[in-house]
Structure 1
C-alpha cells in the first residue's frame, strides 16, 4: 500500500496491468482512499473498487470459477476464511495456511496475506502468480499505483534458511494460503454465464438506515455530529442537549449511496455537456450572452478547478431519489469534515474510522492536485460575517495543501491598477476562491456594466477605483475556484433537463412543468417562456412552473431525511444526513448531520 513516487501514478479507475492473462488490476490511486462503490462481475459481487480484496475475489472468480464470503478486511482472511466456493455447483474447496517460515514452499495461484500494521490498517492480500528460486511475483490492487511493466505488480525476495521458506517483504507477512484440490478448478467460462448458480449473482444492495435514540445524554460541546464504526455497523451521533439520536446504516447502504452517486454524476456531466452547447438552454439558464464563450471554455479547460459537488437524495427504502434541496454546501461540508471527529472524542467512542478523516484528507489532496504556485486570494463579503468560520477552515485546507492564501474583503482590499486587479499589498490577483453563487455574480454583471456590443473587452466598470464581484470573477486573467461551469449544475432548472434526458432512470424524481395546484408536486421556479412548436426536450420549458415530485410518507420510510452525497474529483467520498420537519425543502428547517463512512 505504499505509493511509488518515482513512477507515473495511474489515475483511479484506470488499468495498471493484466495478471494471469485476463484479470485486469485497477488503480485506487491512493492507499488511504476507500471508494465504497461496489464492483460486480456477471452479477457477482467482488468488493469495493479498487481494494486488494476486490482484486483477490475477482482473480479467483476469473481464474478458478470460485468466490469467497464477505470478510471484514484483508487481514481477517488469515483466520476467518477457511474455504472458497465454486459458483457453478456450490462445492467448497478448503484453504490451507502456511505461516511465513514454513517447510512448504509457496506455489503459484495462492493468496499472500499481510497482517494489520501502522501503514496497512486493514492488512493486505496479493496473488502469488510466479515462484522462482529466490523470489516470488505477485499481482494485486491498492499497494503501488504505477503501470506494470510485465504481467505482475512486483517481485518479492524469498529465502530458504534452516530448512524453512521466508518471504521477505517490506511489511511483515502472515504467510500464504493454498486451495486444496486446486487442480480441479478451471477458469470461468464467460461465454456461458448461465452455468453460474443464481445464489452467487446478487442484485445491487438496498441497504438500511435507522434512526435511533440514547436518552438523557448531554455533552460539553455542541458539535454537529459524529459517525463511528462499531463492528460492521456505521453510526451517526447527534445531540440536542437532552437526548442523543444517531443514524445506523449497514454496509449495503454505504455501497448503495456510493454506486448511485457515481452513476448519477456521470449523467450530470452528460447533461451539462448538452446544456452548455445549446444556445437556447444557456438563455433559459440566465447565462449572459457575453460570456457564453467563457462558460464553454470553462467546460473544456477547468474541470480540475471543480473541487467539490454534492447531490441530495431521499431514500424510499429501495432507491435513492435525486432531490432538489436548498442547503449551504460550504457550511455542510465544514460540519461534515470537522464536527464528527470532535463528537467521537467527547463521547470517548472506540472507533476505527470516520468519514471526517476521508473527506478532509481528500479535500486537501484535491487542492494539492491543482499545483497552485501563486498566491490564492479568498474573497470575503462583509455582509456575511457568519461565513468567516467556513472561510477560515478553507484557508486551513489550503495551508495543508501547501498553498499560500490571503483573505480579502471585497469592499476594502481590492483595487484597479492599470486595468489589472491587485490587493492592498499591490499583488496581482490571479486565482480566487469564492462563496458567492454564480446567479449573484451574473446579476452583478447586469447591474454594474453598461450594455456594450463590442464584447467583453469593451466592458467598462462603473466604479473606476474598486472592482465589483463580476469584474473579478468574470475576468479573463483570473482563475476561479469553483469554476464558471458550476453555474449550470447549480441552476434550479438543471434537474428538469436531467429528468427529460433520463426520464426512465429509477433514481431521478420527476421534474415537470405544470400548474402548481397539483398537490403531488412543489413549485421551485416560475419562468415565463414563449411557446415552442418543436418536438423534443425544449418543449419542456413551455409552461410557467418547474416543479418536482415529492415522495409521500407511505413511499418513504425515512421521510424526514435528506442524504447529501459529497463528490470530490467526480467520486463519492462521503455523505451527510440533513433532517427537516416537513416536506417544504427549506434549509432553515434543516438540522445538519455528518458523514457516515
Structure 2
C-alpha cells in the first residue's frame, strides 16, 4: 500500500511505541502546533505532537536525561551542546557528525534536519537501528500513519569514498551522539523519586495583559478592509482616543490550549454518559422521540463535529470553565478570524495573534469530510451573523465544497416527502448556526401532542420549518444532533458530578440544594433586565450589591460559582477558546460591561502573542 493511502492517525492518538515504552503521538498535520504542554513526572517535555517533544521525552525515559528549552528542532544543531541527567544534574556532552562523515551513525543518536520551505522549524528523530545500507528511526510529526513495527521509517544510508551519507527525502544536518552514553540508564519506578526538583516545574499559568494605544485617532469606530473584493468591518474598541487590546505570553497560550483540549476530552466522556442514560435525558427534557436518533448520531456522526467554543475566567493564576450564555457565538468567531487584520490596522508589534491557526484548520476540517454534494447553509434574517456565515461559505469554497445560502422559510420546499431548494436540488447536507435547544422548541411548537395516540402530530405546512430540516433522517447535519447534549444548559453540572475535583471546573448545581438558600445567586425565574443586563439576587430575592461576595449563578434551576477578575471598573474578561473538531485552535478575549450579561453587551478585543 502506498504512503498516500495509509490511514491518517488523529491528533494525540498513538502511532507506535519506540524502545518498548515511549509512545509516539500523532500531530495530525506537520504544520499544526497544538500548544498543549506535555509533562512526564512533572517535567515539561514540549508541545504535544512535536518532534522536539518526542526527542526530549525519549531521552528522559530511555536515558534519564533532558536538554534545555530550544526554539526549534533546527536550532539543536548549533545551540545544543549537552544533555542533563535529571537524577543528579550531571551533564553529558553531545558530539556532532555532519552528514557525509567518516563516523558511522550509532543507535540512540539524534538525527537533526535543517529548516526548509516545507519544514520551517526543521525536524529531529532518534536513530534506533543501524544496518549496512539503512538506518531506522523513531519520531513524531513527520508522517501520521500507524507504525508497522517498532520504528517509524527506514532511511537509506550510503557509504561512498569513506563517508557515510543518510539519504532522506529532506536534507539532513547530521547526527548528534551522547558521550559516555553507556553510563545512562532508563528512568523507571526505582529512580523516579531521585528526580531533582529543579527539573520538575508546575504548569505555568501565563500572563494576560490589557494594553492601550494612547491618543490614537481613527475616523470611525470601525476600520474597514477588503477581503476577496468584499468589504468587511473590523471593530476596534475605543475609549475616547485610547484603543484597547490584549497581550498574552506563550505560557498563557499553552495554558488555554492544554486546558481546553483536556476538558473537551472530558466533555466527550460526559456526553456519552448522558446519551446512554434515560433518566438524564428525561431531566434534560429531550423529547423521547429523539433519543434513538441522538444515540445513532453519536455512533455515526462524530466526524461532523466542526467548531465549538468554551468560555473561561482567568484570575492571573487559574483558568476556570465558565457557564456563559454566548448568544452571539458566530459574531465572536468573526472577531477571532479578523484579529490579524485588526492587529495590522492598529499597527501592533506582535509575533502572531491568538487565532492565527483557525482559518487553516477550518479549511482542513471541511476537506477532511470529503463532501461531494452541495452543502445548504441555513440562514435567517439575522444580519449580525451574516458576516460569519459568508466567511464560512468562503472556507467551504477553499476546501473544494459547493454550497448554497438558503434563507428560511422562503428558500426550501417539500416535494414528494423530500426537502428541496428553489432550484429543485434535494437537500442532503446542511450547516446550521442555530443551537439545538432552539430547534427542539421549534419542534414542540410545530408539532402538537396528541394525548389519545400518545404521539406527535404534524401540523400541515407547505414549507419545512427548522426542525423539519434539522431533525430529518435523510439529511446530514454539520454540528450533528448529539451536540444537543454537550450544549445543554445542565451539561456542566453533570460534568461537575463526574469530575468533582477537577481544578478547572467550578462548583455547579443543577437543582438548588438546601445549602444554596444561604448563597447569593441569580434566579432566572425572577430576573430583572435592563438593557440585557441581568441583576443578581440571592435566594431570598435580595438584590446583591456587594461585589466582593462569593457569587453563584442560577439558570433555570442551575447554579454555578462565579470566578471573576475585574480588569476594569465596569468590565469582566471572558476567554473564549475555539475548538475545531475537538482541538483548541485559538482564543478570543471578550469583556462584559457587567458581570451578569446574556452576551449581547460583550465586546471582543484583539489579542497578540
Same-fold call, TM cutoff 0.5: yes
Aligned to 2:590: 578
Displacement of 1:161 in angstroms is: 4.1
Deviations 1:327-376 (Å, cap 9, x if unpaired)?
Answer: 22222222212x12223444566766545441111112222222222211
Question: How many angstroms apart in 1 are the aligned matches of 2:68 and 2:454?
Answer: 62
Change (3 A) 1:244 1:101: farther
- Where do 5+ consecutive residues of structure 2 fail to align? 225-234, 528-553
* Structural mapping, 1:560-579, within 5 Å: 560-579=572-591
Whether 2:400 is the aligned partner of 1:402: answer yes
Displacement of 1:77 in angstroms is: 1.2
Q: SS where residue 576 of structure 1 aligns?
A: strand
Whether 2:476 is the aligned partner of 1:479: answer yes
Change (3 A) 1:96 1:215: farther
Whether 2:351 is the aligned partner of 1:359: answer no
Question: How many angstroms apart in 1 are the aligned matches of 2:586 and 2:289?
Answer: 37
Aligned to 1:461: 459
2:427 alignment partner, one of 420, 429, 447: 429
- Alpha carbons 1:378, 1:407 under 8 Å: kept: yes
Aligned to 1:158: 157
- Alpha carbons 1:461, 1:467 under 8 Å: kept: no
* Structural mapping, 1:46-195, within 5 Å: 46-195=45-194
Aligned to 1:510: 507
Aligned to 1:253: 252
Question: How many angstroms apart in 2 are the aligned matches of 1:239 and 1:178?
Answer: 54
Whether 2:34 is the aligned partner of 1:35: answer yes
Question: How many angstroms apart in 2 are the aligned matches of 1:157 and 1:523?
Answer: 69
Change (3 A) 1:192 1:520: farther
Aligned to 1:378: 377
Change (3 A) 1:455 1:46: farther
- Where do 5+ consecutive residues of structure 1 fail to align? 226-236, 528-541
Question: How many angstroms apart in 2 are the aligned matches of 1:66 and 1:224?
Answer: 52
Question: How many angstroms apart in 2 are the aligned matches of 1:502 and 1:142?
Answer: 32
Aligned to 2:543: none
Aligned-residue Cα RMSD (Å) equals 3.2
- Alpha carbons 1:580, 1:590 under 8 Å: kept: yes
Change (3 A) 1:99 1:544: closer
TM-score by length of 2: 0.85
Change (3 A) 1:90 1:555: farther
Change (3 A) 1:396 1:478: same
Change (3 A) 1:519 1:147: closer
Change (3 A) 1:455 1:278: farther
Aligned to 1:416: 414
Change (3 A) 1:453 1:473: farther
Number of aligned residue pairs: give it. 569
Q: SS where residue 88 of structure 1 aligns?
A: coil
Change (3 A) 1:12 1:98: same
Question: How many angstroms apart in 1 are the aligned matches of 2:252 and 2:398?
Answer: 32
Aligned to 2:521: 521
1:492 alignment partner, one of 489, 494, 498: 489
- Alpha carbons 1:276, 1:295 under 8 Å: kept: yes
Question: How many angstroms apart in 2 are the aligned matches of 1:17 and 1:356?
Answer: 31
Question: How many angstroms apart in 2 are the aligned matches of 1:415 and 1:544?
Answer: 36
Q: SS where residue 458 of structure 2 aligns?
A: coil
Displacement of 1:86 in angstroms is: 0.3
Whether 2:310 is the aligned partner of 1:311: answer yes
Change (3 A) 1:73 1:349: farther
Deviations 1:554-587 (Å, cap 9, x if unpaired)?
Answer: 9999982111111222222221111223311332
